[in-house]
Amino acid sequence: MSRQGTIFDVDDSAANGLSFQNFGSSTIQADAPSGRISPAASPHVRATNDYYQAEQRIGSSIEGAIKSGGVLNLDFYSGWFDVNTLTVLSRCYKTLIPKEDYIAEVLGGAPDLYGPFWVPTTLIFSLFLTSSLYSSVTAYLDDLEYTYDFTRLGAASSVVYTYCLGLPILVWAAIKYWAGATERSPVEIISLYGYSSTVWIVAAWLSLIPVGPLRLAVAFAATLLSLAFLVRNLYPILSNAPNVSARLLVVIAAFLHLIFAVILWVAFMKGGTGALDHKDLKDVAGEIGNGIGSIGGDAGEGTGEGSSRWMW
């Protein structure tokens, strides 16, 4: 019998049978299918399962790419730009004296992309500035009007970046998949080619020398020095490679380097007629002397006439 003020009655015998129940995941079906499904399942269920697994794979790939160390994260590349000015200058200087193994001893397992980018970029602007300056001086001496040709800048960028940044990727791929040598990374090969262009910066500014044979000698020396540097560092990699025929890659690299040197000489460093080309210094001095003599003669005539008048 219920009493007033009681919301509901519970039998004492029923109350004694109450207990907490475990409603875990084993008793609740997942909204999305997981794991393998029966081949007899409906096409809709199988398609839903495939879409779910594909979404999981894409999500994990994106998460792995953007997390710390992923290829889409800037932290992944920051280590290759963590160098100071002294280190870059030291690596540039040691390309001019190719004595040691550059990759193993100079880079020391810590290659960078800072120097291999800025050294070719400096070479591009050096080629453009020196060739434009040489052409403007030549035009001035020949009494011709000169207009800066900015297509030289685009040509220099195409040639230098292709050789110093694009070609090393192909060389690394050939070393790995043709020669079978896997101990060198693509960043090390890019560093090798990028820093090797240091000598061409020096040669570009020396091309302002107004003597054709001397400019040619500078370009020839730069070609030999940079070629010796590349061969000195590429041959040890290929000499120990499993595929012996891949040593031909050294010859191919040398041939491409010679093509690069010829392009730099013909397009930028050769220049036009220099200030002293095809001219004799004695003739120039004679012309200056004749000019002074004529001025002196005119002055002398005036002085003589004045003195005669004064005497008369």
Whether residue 195 contacts residue 83, with contact meaning beta carbons closer than 8 Å, is answered with no
For residue 16, what is the enclosing H or E element?
none
Number of H helices, E strands in the chain: 12, 0
Structural contact between residues 277 and 232, judged by C-beta atoms closer than 8 angstroms:
no
106 and 242 belong to one structural domain:
yes
Helices (H), 142-280: 151-161, 167-174, 186-196, 198-206, 212-239, 248-264
Report the amino acid identity of residue 292: I
In a domain, 287, yes or no: no
Number of domains in the chain: 2
Contact 236, 181 (CB under 8 A): no
d(CA 270, CA 219): 9
User: Of 132, 192, 141, 125, which is closest to residue 165 (Cα–Cα)?
Assistant: 192
* In-domain check, residue 304: no
Decide if 133 is inside a domain: yes
- Indicate the residue among 14, 39, 66 that finishes a domain: 66
Question: Does 73 map to a domain?
Answer: no
Residues 100 and 179 in one domain: yes
Are 185 and 234 in a shared domain? Answer: yes
Q: Is residue 72 part of a domain?
A: no
Residues 169 and 234 in one domain: yes
Do 238 and 185 share a domain, yes or no? yes
Q: For residue 40, what pLDDT is reported?
A: 54
pLDDT digits (tens, 9 = 90+) for 38-78: 455 555 545 455 555 555 555 554 454 445 555 566 566 66
Shared domain check, 151 and 100: yes
Distance of CA 153 to the CA centre of its chain: 16
Residue 283 maps to a domain: no
Phi/psi region, residue 35 (left: phi>0; alpha: psi -120 to 50; beta: rest), is: left
Q: Are residues 40 and 107 in the same domain?
A: no
Q: Is there a single domain that holds both residue 53 and residue 182?
A: no
Within a domain: 131:
yes
- Measured distance CA(137)–CA(178) in Å, rounded: 49
Smallest CA-to-CA distance from 103 within 224, 180, 187 is with 187
The residues, ordered by sequence, that sit 6+ positions from 191 with a Cβ below 8 Å of its Cβ are 91, 103, 107, 111, 112, 113, 115, 116
Q: Are residues 41 and 98 in the same domain?
A: no
Q: Which of 250, 269, 288 is the last residue of a domain?
A: 269
Residue 252 sits at the vertex; the CA angle it makes with 251 and 256, to the nearest 5 degrees, is: 120
Give a yes or no: residue 169 inside a domain.
yes
Clarify whether residues 52 and 132 are in a common domain: no
Residue 194's domain comprises 85-269
CB 201 within 8 A of CB 123: yes
What is the structure's pLDDT at 161?
97
Would you state the pLDDT for residue 141? 84
Q: Are residues 186 and 252 in the same domain?
A: yes
The pLDDT assigned to 145 comes to: 83
Work out the burial of residue 256: count CB atoms within 10 Å of its CB; fewer than 13 is exposed, 13-18 middle, 19 or more buried: middle
Same domain, 38 and 177: no
Those residues of the chain that have pLDDT short of 70 are 1-78, 80, 272-312
pTM above 0.75, yes or no: no
